[in-house]
Amino acid sequence: MDSQKKKALAAKGWKVGSTAEFIGLSSEESRFIELKLALSGSLRTERLRQDVTQVELAKLLGTSQSRVAKMEAADPTVTVDLLLKALLVLGVTKKQLAKIIA
């Protein structure tokens, strides 16, 4: 949001802040969510780059297509270890994982 818009909203009594501030996330919680978003986005990108369908990836992981869709959407029910496992199944290296996490 640009600074003029922020000033206009503040002048009308609105408070301008981040989503994390609005829902009261700690910095650790916020960083964890950012990590999950990075992993899930990378999973989708890598899957598409390799021309693998969600169904095919699901078979490789021993799960369902709908679970893969949830993984790519960073659904709260998806664990970080499952995202990491899926990326490793697709052949992502430790070095590539480090870049995703950084």
Give the CATH number of the domain where residue 73 resides: 1.10.260.40
Is 69 among the domain residues?
yes
Which pLDDT score, from 0 to 100, does residue 60 have?
Answer: 97
Select from 91, 80, 90, 95 the least CA-distant residue to 39. Answer: 80
Count structural domains, the chain. 1
Farthest CA pair distance, the chain: 55
Q: Tell me the H-state helices in the chain.
A: 3-11, 19-23, 27-49, 54-61, 65-72, 80-89, 94-101
Select from 34, 47, 35 the least CA-distant residue to 97. Answer: 35
Rounded to whole angstroms, how far apart are CA atoms 86 and 82? 6
> pLDDT tens digits for 24-59?
888 899 899 999 999 999 999 999 999 999 999 999
> pLDDT tens digits for 68-92?
999 999 999 999 999 999 999 999 9
pLDDT of 22 above 80: no
